[in-house]
């Protein structure tokens, strides 16, 4: 366990006021804190109803359910106490005032409980990242993915790879140490090389799955683009079912990109309303057009809007292959009666709708849901959900490829060194080695009390 001189405390439940407010205390003086405010310590892992009092005045603060988890068998690996109080502001404030006066106690920083759990071996870094994703999950698909990471989907696989690499390294070192024993050296070299080949193939296959896990965590990005007054803001408001963008008949109303985060059948989607794309002498509008082009070019899908009478509805705008053409304002067109036939699968999607009346919008939303499902869902859960994870796996796979090349050439020393590089990358993935430089970045987004 990591020895820490401080005992930390924080509100670990939701914001007050609430029905219940859970105050968590973790560290070597958690037991002393309970004795001070309750008078005794309950049996480990057994709830006890107790009266909390100010130890200086004897005044009653609240009646609470009190629990104690003796380390290392706790979430943080330290002694942990929980006070399940009534969740009023005055109750929490009075409890914090008492705890602040106790020697050796201080308020927790953001993510400090989880960080202590990591440092004490309760979680690896992939599980920590899964916990962070679970806290901030907005959709059901994101929640499922985060739970899998928290339960060790990637971490367990990476640890298995690391242990097999250690075996390969031991065999390689044995081959070097016993190089005068011809039979032994040849045998261990072949076995070590076989392990390296298999590991390289497994990691390469995982990386070949693409960025599905990262895209699910971040959400698909769909940009609504097109010329001025094509109905982009109106369509955004219709899909979002609320007024999030200003609608005006004047061209150039939208100057900056407006983002709306949606849950489409459990899949996360960010919808962008962009400035009307046209040539202009207005420097402010010109900057808006430049931003619109950049955001649309980086989006997963572009909905290119144009009025129903437009002669050229789909210009070569450089937005990539995933671009759907949406003809708008059919309620104003004399040709609004007929539906546009769906093109062949090799052609772009075409839609005809009125964002004002809602005609045709349901079909567009249904196809967006299908697009999100096809892009993000798979029979196999995604193992890689963050760029950090992908980067380290790429390092490990690259080192293994170099190791295989060195091993096949009979260069035992460099073969063993490349295996060590691969093992180090996998160790950094789970947090076993050389991770101090990434810890602050990972834990900074955690809320206080977690």
**DSSP category for residue 448:** B
Selected residue with higher pLDDT from 307 and 344: 307
For residue 355, with 0-12 CB atoms within 10 Å meaning exposed, 13-18 middle and 19 or more buried, which class applies? buried
- What pLDDT shows up at residue 295? 79
- What pLDDT shows up at residue 339? 47
Asked whether this chain's domains 7-120 and 216-376 adopt the same fold, the reply is no
* pLDDT of 248 strictly over 50: no
- What pLDDT shows up at residue 116? 93
pLDDT grade for 421, boundaries at 50, 70 and 90: very high
- Tens of pLDDT, residue by residue over 335-393, are 445 544 444 333 457 888 888 888 888 999 899 988 888 888 765 677 888 889 999 99
- Report the pLDDT averaged over residues 114-134: 91
Q: Long-range contacts: 182-188, Cβ < 8 Å, 24+? A: none
* pLDDT of 221 strictly over 50: yes
User: In whole numbers, what is the pLDDT of the chain averaged over residues?
Assistant: 82
What are the extents of the domains in the chain?
7-120, 127-209+384-443, 216-376
- Among 30-34, 306-310, 416-420, the minimum mean pLDDT is found in 306-310
| CATH number, domain 216-376 | 3.40.50.300
* pLDDT of 250 strictly over 50: no
Alpha helices in 9-124 (DSSP H): 30-37, 89-101, 112-119
- Tens of pLDDT, residue by residue over 70-90, are 999 999 999 999 999 999 999
Closest CA to 95 of 79, 110, 80, 82: 82
Q: Is 49 helix (H, G, I), strand (E, B) or coil?
A: strand
Q: Which CATH superfamily is domain 127-209+384-443 in?
A: tRNA modification GTPase MnmE domain 2 (1.20.120.430)
Closest CA to 301 of 384, 210, 219: 219
* pLDDT of 93 strictly over 90: yes
- What pLDDT shows up at residue 435? 52
C-alpha–C-alpha distance, residues 316 and 302, integer Å: 12
- Tens of pLDDT, residue by residue over 397-418, are 999 999 999 988 888 889 989 9
- Among 128-142, 166-180, 192-206, 408-422, the minimum mean pLDDT is found in 166-180
- Among 201-205, 232-236, 242-246, 399-403, the minimum mean pLDDT is found in 242-246
pTM of the shown model:
0.74
Selected residue with higher pLDDT from 350 and 244: 350
Other Cβ atoms less than 10 A from the Cβ of 390: the count is 18
Alpha carbon distances (Å) from 418 to 400, 412, 421: 7, 10, 5
Closest CA to 408 of 196, 111, 118: 196
- Report the pLDDT averaged over residues 286-312: 75
CATH topology of domain 7-120: Gyrase A; domain 2 (3.30.1360)
pLDDT grade for 333, boundaries at 50, 70 and 90: low
Q: What is the largest CA-CA distance in the chain?
A: 91
- Among 157-161, 214-218, 279-283, 289-293, the minimum mean pLDDT is found in 279-283
Sign of CA dihedral 234, 237, 239, 242: negative
Between the two ends of the chain, the Cα-to-Cα distance in Å is 19
């Amino acid at each position: 366990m990591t020895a820490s001189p401080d005992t930390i405390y924080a509100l670990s439940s939701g914001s007050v006021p609430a029905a219940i407010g859970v105050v968590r205390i973790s560290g070597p003086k958690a037991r002393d804190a309970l004795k001070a405010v309750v008078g005794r310590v309950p049996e480990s892992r057994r709830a006890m109803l107790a009266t909390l009092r100010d130890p200086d005045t004897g005044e009653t603060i609240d009646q609470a359910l009190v629990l104690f988890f003796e380390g290392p068998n706790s979430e943080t690996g330290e002694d942990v106490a929980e006070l399940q109080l009534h969740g009023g502001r005055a109750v929490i404030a009075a409890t914090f005032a008492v705890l602040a006066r106790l020697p050796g106690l201080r308020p927790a920083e953001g993510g400090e409980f989880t960080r202590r759990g990591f440092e004490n071996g309760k979680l690896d870094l992939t599980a920590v990242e899964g916990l962070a994703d679970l806290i901030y999950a907005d959709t059901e698909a994101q929640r499922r993915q985060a739970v899998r990471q928290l339960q060790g989907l990637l971490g367990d696989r990476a640890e298995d790879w690391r242990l097999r690499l250690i075996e390969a390294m031991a065999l390689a070192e044995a081959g070097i140490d016993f190089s005068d024993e011809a039979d032994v050296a040849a045998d261990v070299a072949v076995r070590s090389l076989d392990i390296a080949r298999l590991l390289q193939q497994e990691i390469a296959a995982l990386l070949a799955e693409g960025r599905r896990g990262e895209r699910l965590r971040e959400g698909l990005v769909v940009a609504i683009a097109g010329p001025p007054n094509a109905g982009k803001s109106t369509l955004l408001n219709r899909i979002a079912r609320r007024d999030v963008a200003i609608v005006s008949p004047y061209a150039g109303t939208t100057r900056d990109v407006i983002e709306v985060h949606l849950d489409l059948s459990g899949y996360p989607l960010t919808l962008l309303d962009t400035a009307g794309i046209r040539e202009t002498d207005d420097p402010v509008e010109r900057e808006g057009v430049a931003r619109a082009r950049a955001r649309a070019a980086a989006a997963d899908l572009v909905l290119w809007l144009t009025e129903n009478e437009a002669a050229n509805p789909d210009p070569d705008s450089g937005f990539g292959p995933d671009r759907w053409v949406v003809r708008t304002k059919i309620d104003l067109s004399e040709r609004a009666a007929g539906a546009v036939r769906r093109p062949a699968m090799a052609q772009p999607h075409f839609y005809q709708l009125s964002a004002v009346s809602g005609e045709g919008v349901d079909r567009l939303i249904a196809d967006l849901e299908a697009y999100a499902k096809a892009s993000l869902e798979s029979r196999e859960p995604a193992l890689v959900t963050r760029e950090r994870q992908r980067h380290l796996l790429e390092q490990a796979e690259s080192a293994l490829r170099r190791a295989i090349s060195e091993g096949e050439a009979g260069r035992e020393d460099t073969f063993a060194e490349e295996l060590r590089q691969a093992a180090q990358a996998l160790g950094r993935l789970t947090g076993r080695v050389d991770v101090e430089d990434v810890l602050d970045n990972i834990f900074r987004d955690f809320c206080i009390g977690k």
